[in-house]
Structure 1
Amino acid sequence: MFLERMNSKLKRVLVPGPLIIGAGPSGLATAACLKEKGVPSLILERENCLASLWKLKSYDRLRLHLPKRFCELPLMGFPPEFPTYPMKEEFLSYLEAYAKHFSIEPLFGEEVKSAEYDPTMEFWLVKTGSSEFVCRWLIVATGENSEPMSPEFPQISDFKGRVLHTSLYKNGTTFKGQKILVVGCGNSGMEISLDLCNSGAQASVVVRDTLHILPREILGRSTFGLSMWLLKWFPLRLVDRFLLFCSWFILGNTHRFGLRRPQIGPIELKNTTGKTPVLDVGTLAKIKAGQIMVVPSIKRFTETGVEFIDEKIEDFDSVILATGYRSNVPSWLKEEGFFSKKDGYPVAPFPHSWKGENGLYSVGFTKRGLLGASLDAQKVAKEIATQWNLEMKHLQTDL
């Protein structure tokens, strides 16, 4: 599938088709779409497994937050016996079966150090620890969640308890009987708080900003699926009002529990800022019952706990940082204009975020989850296949 030659420093690998960086769902979807169109590709993956974020850095009770039909990759659906919201292990087994079905064999343990376009050669030069890959097309599929993000908090080094990011959290069994502060109130923070509570820990969750909490299902249908259907017929703001009315009817007034809603509706907020609403899986009931406490922003850490901005001081045994992830693309991609150096996302917003210049593409940076990654993969494969077929035609003519 690819050719090799040695030089004095790095093994040079000439890749005839596209080179894909990342063997997560985005990379697999792209490779499958390319193969379906007769275009060979090669995936580089820094870890030693597929979907390393899911396999190595996610908690045990994780499920897909959206129904499986919105999360399947192109050309192959989930097994019909899978539940509506597949569990972590089920999703991983689906990805393994997907790779096997399309004969996708990534090169594991290949962490990209740099990728730079050579205008003289008109090829991309991608360097790992041991090799230099040369390719005509480069597809960045490392995703929005490449690196754990752990913000600096005042005097956090003073805290004598345990501090860990959610990427290291597996389950609540080791925290039984402890007081735990969860910093971050997105879907992961809320679900980990629930997991801790169910495991016998006393959990408090930091909510420093407004957020939307929606029921996972409305009228027996997925909230997300219902929203997508309504948007085909009604204006976005009217759909947002409907969602908020249903949320108030099903969940009640969340404001009195310290969970203030933004002025802007949940779908509009997602589209404009990328901030995902929390789909409740039982955490809110625990908050209402006083089993999970909502606390304000952190002012500073102490040796034994935290002082909050309301000047209350509380002791904690451990702190879990549910502060999310970030893209690491700016650390290795030597390119100007397509990816932002600030946040590692394509500068152009969705749906125009998939295509750069000089054969550079991105998949999985839409802020629209697996569905957005699948759409990207199909667009990229279609365009590259057109170029590939044209070049092959010219090559055959020359021969």
Structure 2
Amino acid sequence: MAVAAKGEEMTPEHEEEVIIVGAGQSGLAAAACLSVRGVASCLVLERDDCVASLWRHRAYDRLRLHLPKRHCALPRAPHAAAAPDYLPRDDFAAYLDAYASRFGVHLVSREVWSVGMALQRYLPTWAVDKVVLLMCAVVFGGDTARYGLRRPAVGPFAMKMTTPAYPVFDVGTFAKIRSGEIRVVPAGIKSVRGGDVEFADGRRHAFDAIVFATGYRSTTKQWLKSDDGLIGDDGMAGRSYPNHWKGENGLYCAGMVRRGIYGSGEDAELIADDISKQMKRRSSEPVHNGHISNGSP
């Protein structure tokens, strides 16, 4: 999600002061945080016909959030006590709808890990990774490489913040791998012909069904022409956390360092606070001939 705040030379009162591109969780959070700070002239642009289109149109039916609800709430709107601890897809989409309505988000659409997450608030990422990996060794019984599960070079939380790869929460899969019900093969695939797959090591196997769970790539770099380093070549934040969210000329990005729903809310608070402070500073400066003075005659 990208946020653009108007520069000082563009001050017509009837125009929007802030434009937010994307009505997903990050865009909604940014709009809400701006609203509670008194920045009402905010427009959210969304190419789909609803908020949270990723959750509605691109998530499988039985999806549930992999983190407890306390880590998956947007700013100033905790989940209801009666809500399931791990929210189903439709419940979370409904939560985002209610969030947009509660904070009066002005939308223009095309049609008009629990322990780790808690520790990250108090410890550096490298320390959290050591604790989490130690817990994994105890729970899963030591070396998982013998079952075809290679351990990454970095810890799970460091990996989550720097690459598109996410750590896996086990829900019984590892027991099936250990028993042989699920076989893990090398990731390299040379070719796919119908149901026949040839792997990089030369092995071939016929499958009844093939599921591509490859995720998505960001296209931000294709439409946002910015050379200030805010957006990297992969379409995600070009700078590392926590200095990733602010660019030049009133440009910001939220939710683009792979820190999940909690990270989206954290970015939104930082961005909204920075924009509101700039607007308050501008409004307190003297105006000459319709332009804000910068202190020069």
How far off its partner does 1:341 sit?
A: 5.5
Q: Which amino acid aligns with 2:212?
A: L
Query: What does the per-residue CA deviation read over 1:208-248, in whole Å, with 9 as the maximum and x for residues that have no partner?
Result: xxxxxxxx6xxxxx23235436x53xx65554333223212
Q: Which amino acid aligns with 1:294?
A: V
* Contact 2:232–2:238 (8 Å) recurs in 1: no
| Pair 361,272 (structure 1): closer, same or farther in 2 beyond 3 Å | closer
Q: Which amino acid aligns with 2:131?
A: F
| Pair 83,313 (structure 1): closer, same or farther in 2 beyond 3 Å | same
Whether 1:244 and 2:133 are equivalent positions in the alignment is yes
Whether 1:228 and 2:108 are equivalent positions in the alignment is no
- Match among 224, 227, 231 for residue 333 of structure 1: 224
The structure with more strand, counted as a fraction of residues: 1
Residue of structure 2 equivalent to 1:49? 50
Query: What does the per-residue CA deviation read over 1:38-77, in whole Å, with 9 as the maximum and x for residues that have no partner?
Result: 1020101000011111110001121111111111111111
Whether 1:63 and 2:52 are equivalent positions in the alignment is no
| Pair 397,80 (structure 1): closer, same or farther in 2 beyond 3 Å | farther
Residue of structure 2 equivalent to 1:74? 75
| Pair 300,88 (structure 1): closer, same or farther in 2 beyond 3 Å | same
| Pair 244,25 (structure 1): closer, same or farther in 2 beyond 3 Å | same
- Match among 170, 182, 186 for residue 280 of structure 1: 170
* Contact 1:337–1:347 (8 Å) recurs in 2: no
Alignment of 1:121-270 (within 5 A): 222-228=114-120, 231-232=122-123, 237-252=126-141, 253-270=143-160
Residue of structure 1 equivalent to 2:84? 83
| Pair 37,263 (structure 1): closer, same or farther in 2 beyond 3 Å | closer
* Contact 2:176–2:182 (8 Å) recurs in 1: yes
| Pair 335,236 (structure 1): closer, same or farther in 2 beyond 3 Å | closer
Q: Secondary structure at the match of 1:248?
A: helix
Alignment of 1:4-15 (within 5 A): 15=15
| Pair 383,58 (structure 1): closer, same or farther in 2 beyond 3 Å | same
- Match among 354, 373, 390 for residue 281 of structure 2: 390
Whether 1:350 and 2:222 are equivalent positions in the alignment is no
| Pair 263,19 (structure 1): closer, same or farther in 2 beyond 3 Å | closer
Q: Which amino acid aligns with 2:102?
A: H
How far off its partner does 1:250 sit?
A: 1.3
* Contact 2:161–2:257 (8 Å) recurs in 1: no
| Pair 392,264 (structure 1): closer, same or farther in 2 beyond 3 Å | closer
Whether 1:364 and 2:235 are equivalent positions in the alignment is no
Residue of structure 2 equivalent to 1:320? 211
| Stretches of structure 2 lacking an aligned partner (at least 5 in a row) | 1-13, 291-297
TM-score with structure 1 length normalisation? 0.63
- Cα distance between partner residues in 2 of 1:91 and 1:336: 35
- Cα distance between partner residues in 1 of 2:226 and 2:85: 41
- Cα distance between partner residues in 2 of 1:398 and 1:39: 24
Q: Which amino acid aligns with 1:276?
A: Y
How far off its partner does 1:345 sit?
A: 2.0
Q: Which amino acid aligns with 1:316?
A: F
TM-score with structure 2 length normalisation? 0.83
| Pair 318,367 (structure 1): closer, same or farther in 2 beyond 3 Å | same
- Cα distance between partner residues in 2 of 1:274 and 1:324: 9
Residue of structure 2 equivalent to 1:180? none
> Structure 1 vs Structure 2: percent identity of aligned residues?
42
Q: Secondary structure at the match of 2:152?
A: coil
How far off its partner does 1:395 sit?
A: 7.1
- Cα distance between partner residues in 2 of 1:48 and 1:344: 23
| Pair 96,304 (structure 1): closer, same or farther in 2 beyond 3 Å | closer
| Pair 89,240 (structure 1): closer, same or farther in 2 beyond 3 Å | same
- Cα distance between partner residues in 1 of 2:94 and 2:221: 31
Residue of structure 1 equivalent to 2:101? 100
Q: Which amino acid aligns with 1:242?
A: V
Q: Secondary structure at the match of 2:120?
A: helix
